[in-house]
Chain A
């Protein structure tokens, strides 16, 4: 056996059967078709808009990817998103300090995620139930903290996070999106924590018997997922110039959708982070395309749900090949 040759061959095969690659081709095909259907689609302005619209969901989905890779699921992202946004918004109202606000927003998200992890690893509540409970609790907290009233009066600096552009061209959220994916990709591939996340997702018992601290991995993935909800919340607040306690409704569908469209297995241990970015871009492209084609906005939910089911069906079919 020639190890290096065999390595190369199996890597080549892995590329061909990779869901990320096939989804990238589908994304390009979608862009091509939409550019034929709408002259406006393939403009710099619209493509920039797509990355901008992808930013919030993409960032949340990046954290969700780690959770799903570890064999869990985080249904609470939408509520954690709202609650951390509100917590930060209140701090901003009180202090006006943007750095402090950022820290509080992200740390609130991380803390709520940490609670998810504690429920799962200490109380042994299944992830589905633990995060479903958090979905309710975090939403309630957001409404209690804000007394149900949206927060306005964000400063110009705050708004720059969502509306600013670097060199008058690249939106700030797009840059944050890329930075977050670079970071999560790095974590998944080059850190021990990342590798342990895959191992726990693949076989928790074997991972434990290899000496991996399951608790540490579970707490880490959920805390990171929560923290990234906080990052997303800052961007959305800055784009809309308001923090809404009812915001982020249904984001779990979009985030989990982006992950599974990217081909990450809901059984854990299989998938990659960059594929999630492509999955999120596909979701945004569909929404953007339907808008441009003048389709009723309510249909977007239907199409989005159908695409998630379709993507997983295709993935299952491809795995059998």
Chain B
């Protein structure tokens, strides 16, 4: 994967590592963690060349701690137990001293000003809280270097601010941070330097404060990105999909929503505002208690996702690995799945399926080693294209996308935007785009609904608003989280 990479991190520095998926970021941080072995590498730590076989043990002894995108927490254990897992392993004794465990947890959390109950089970925490806990664990290991892989992927804006505050605190203690992210604006805010990887080489190291965003993107993808001109709200002519006075276990207050033909309706809000819950109701994955849903002019009943699929809805869930894909099935089988659901009868034509999928793969530029490659071997961006391709192949009319570009590189992101634009131009088509990335919503959506506390608090025309205003609506009605 990696060809030649030179990388340097100073004491108390935040050094961002940028690059498309497949550029070698993950490989590099895994080598640093000792999870992968480099064919040849020289590693210096505090000006001393590390001798011997560099592995997980040495990385740990040096204080290099990696916080991966997918958390390594144990969901059924409490916060305190997760914080003490390391000592459970290393302590020679036979029994657990629960008092020390509790005390250690309280001290660590207090030192970092985290308002998490040490007795709470990890599975009940929000993603942001889990992220914080990962950092707390890293610090309890006496980290010198912390590697963060997409730390803000699941965080809302205020939570990101809290994380940045923490990072600045860590800097002051002389801890070096390697910050891997796709969110360039964030990188400019938090990083001191950026190193850009492309195709397994480092192409440039720049000063983060003075570097130009377009320049960074150009270095990452090797070409300038083309931006679709923003369109703004479309004439509200023909409604494709509408919800009238929806109520269910999440949405206590009655909620209304309309999507018009050709429209990209953006839905945004902070974590916990009800974005994913709303998208699940739209697709029939969560039940409604009352309210009317209309699709293409007629009232419909959505008891399960199957009803939505048959009517012509498509759903790209937030977590593609656990909800969007059959990971050990082939690209062909995944893309063909929704089409197959819509067919009638017992049999299906394998040749027609192959043709359909081949067309999807080439028009969507999915990089795979053939149609029979299991999707688990694809990169994040290509996986997401497979999920999207499943619905495009099934010729759905309304696409519901929940965080479709999370953890995806710039190139694949542009491809997905292009596909969304192409899709919505077809007659009778519309898109509901759920995203916590306000820049994305502003760039792609024609109209923006802002959710807060399970209510629609604003309905904005995307060219007549800006980030500031959207954020204001997002935070206006946020309830204080119970601790």
Seen from chain A, the residues whose Cβ lies within 8 Å of a Cβ on chain B are: 1, 3, 6-11, 14, 189-193, 195-196, 198-199, 202-203, 205-213, 265, 269-270
B241 contact set on A, CB distance < 8 A: none
B54: Cβ under 8 A from any A Cβ: no
Identify 12 residue pairs between A and B in the complex whose beta-carbon atoms are under 8 Å apart, listed by A's number.
A7-B372, A10-B369, A10-B372, A10-B373, A192-B346, A193-B346, A196-B340, A198-B333, A208-B285, A209-B315, A210-B337, A211-B338
Say whether A192 contacts B328, CB under 8 Å. no
A270 contact set on B, CB distance < 8 A: 328
What would 5 more interface pairs be, CB under 8 Å, given A195-B333, A198-B329?
A7-B371, A10-B369, A14-B372, A203-B326, A269-B329
A7 contact set on B, CB distance < 8 A: 370-372
Complex-state Cα separation, A192 to B346, whole angstroms: 6
Say whether A203 contacts B346, CB under 8 Å. no
Complex-state Cα separation, A161 to B246, whole angstroms: 61
Say whether B369 contacts A6, CB under 8 Å. yes
Q: Which of A6, A189, A192, A206 contacts B370 (CB 8 A)?
A: A6
Q: A10-B372, A208-B305, A209-B285 are in contact. Are A191 and B348 (CB under 8 A)?
A: yes
Complex-state Cα separation, A177 to B283, whole angstroms: 44
B369 contact set on A, CB distance < 8 A: 6, 9-10
A209 contact set on B, CB distance < 8 A: 283, 285, 305, 315, 317, 323-324
Say whether A3 contacts B358, CB under 8 Å. yes
Against A, the Cβ 8 Å flags (1 = close, 0 = not) of B371-396 are: 11100000000000000001000000
Q: A3-B358, A9-B369, A11-B372 are in contact. Are A202 and B327 (CB under 8 A)?
A: yes
Q: Which residue, A1, A11, A196, A265, has most C-beta atoms of chain B within 10 A?
A: A1
Distance from A273 Cβ to chain B, minimum over Cβ atoms (Å): 16
B343: Cβ under 8 A from any A Cβ: yes
Considering the complex, give the chain A residue whose CB is closest to the CB of B316: A209
B325 contact set on A, CB distance < 8 A: 203, 206
Complex-state Cα separation, A74 to B385, whole angstroms: 36
Complex-state Cα separation, A208 to B372, whole angstroms: 22
Considering the complex, give the chain B residue whose CB is closest to the CB of A2: B370
B324 contact set on A, CB distance < 8 A: 206, 209
B306: Cβ under 8 A from any A Cβ: yes
* Tally of chain B residues near chain A (CB < 8 A): 41
B90 contact set on A, CB distance < 8 A: none
Distance from A210 Cβ to chain B, minimum over Cβ atoms (Å): 5
Considering the complex, give the chain B residue whose CB is closest to the CB of A200: B326
Q: Which residue, B323, B336, B358, has most C-beta atoms of chain A within 10 A?
A: B323
B362: Cβ under 8 A from any A Cβ: yes
Complex-state Cα separation, A193 to B322, whole angstroms: 22
B315 contact set on A, CB distance < 8 A: 209
Against A, the Cβ 8 Å flags (1 = close, 0 = not) of B297-333 are: 0000000111011100001010000111111110001
Complex-state Cα separation, A199 to B348, whole angstroms: 15
Complex-state Cα separation, A193 to B342, whole angstroms: 13
Complex-state Cα separation, A142 to B272, whole angstroms: 55
The A contact surface, by secondary structure, is helix
Complex-state Cα separation, A224 to B217, whole angstroms: 55
B350 contact set on A, CB distance < 8 A: 189-190
Minimum-distance CB pairs A-B, first 8: A211-B309, A202-B326, A211-B341, A10-B370, A6-B370, A7-B370, A211-B306, A203-B326
Q: Which of A9, A192, A205, A269 contacts B347 (CB 8 A)?
A: A192
Chain B 244-277 residues near chain A, CB threshold 8 A: none
A8 contact set on B, CB distance < 8 A: 370
Distance from B420 Cβ to chain A, minimum over Cβ atoms (Å): 19
A14 contact set on B, CB distance < 8 A: 372
Complex-state Cα separation, A83 to B290, whole angstroms: 47
A189 contact set on B, CB distance < 8 A: 350
Complex-state Cα separation, A205 to B305, whole angstroms: 11
B143: Cβ under 8 A from any A Cβ: no
Complex-state Cα separation, A51 to B373, whole angstroms: 35
Q: Which of B309, B322, B358 contacts A210 (CB 8 A)?
A: B309
Say whether B306 contacts A205, CB under 8 Å. no
B191: Cβ under 8 A from any A Cβ: no
Complex-state Cα separation, A207 to B327, whole angstroms: 11
Say whether B347 contacts A191, CB under 8 Å. yes
Distance from B282 Cβ to chain A, minimum over Cβ atoms (Å): 12
Considering the complex, give the chain A residue whose CB is closest to the CB of B340: A192
A3 contact set on B, CB distance < 8 A: 358, 361-362, 370-371
Complex-state Cα separation, A23 to B371, whole angstroms: 26
Against A, the Cβ 8 Å flags (1 = close, 0 = not) of B334-365 are: 00111011110111101000000010011000
Q: A7-B370, A209-B315 are in contact. Are A203 and B327 (CB under 8 A)?
A: yes
A206 contact set on B, CB distance < 8 A: 322-326
Distance from A209 Cβ to chain B, minimum over Cβ atoms (Å): 5
A191 contact set on B, CB distance < 8 A: 346-348
Say whether A192 contacts B343, CB under 8 Å. yes
Distance from A290 Cβ to chain B, minimum over Cβ atoms (Å): 36
Considering the complex, give the chain B residue whose CB is closest to the CB of A216: B306
Distance from B45 Cβ to chain A, minimum over Cβ atoms (Å): 31
Considering the complex, give the chain B residue whose CB is closest to the CB of A211: B309
Q: Which of B310, B323, B345, B362 contacts A205 (CB 8 A)?
A: B323
Complex-state Cα separation, A249 to B333, whole angstroms: 38
Say whether A211 contacts B308, CB under 8 Å. yes
B322 contact set on A, CB distance < 8 A: 203, 205-206
Q: Which of B310, B326, B348 contacts A192 (CB 8 A)?
A: B348
Distance from B214 Cβ to chain A, minimum over Cβ atoms (Å): 29
A1 contact set on B, CB distance < 8 A: 367
Complex-state Cα separation, A189 to B326, whole angstroms: 17
Distance from B334 Cβ to chain A, minimum over Cβ atoms (Å): 8
Say whether B310 contacts A202, CB under 8 Å. no
Considering the complex, give the chain B residue whose CB is closest to the CB of A205: B323
Complex-state Cα separation, A13 to B373, whole angstroms: 10
Complex-state Cα separation, A72 to B321, whole angstroms: 21
A210 contact set on B, CB distance < 8 A: 305, 309, 337-338, 341, 390
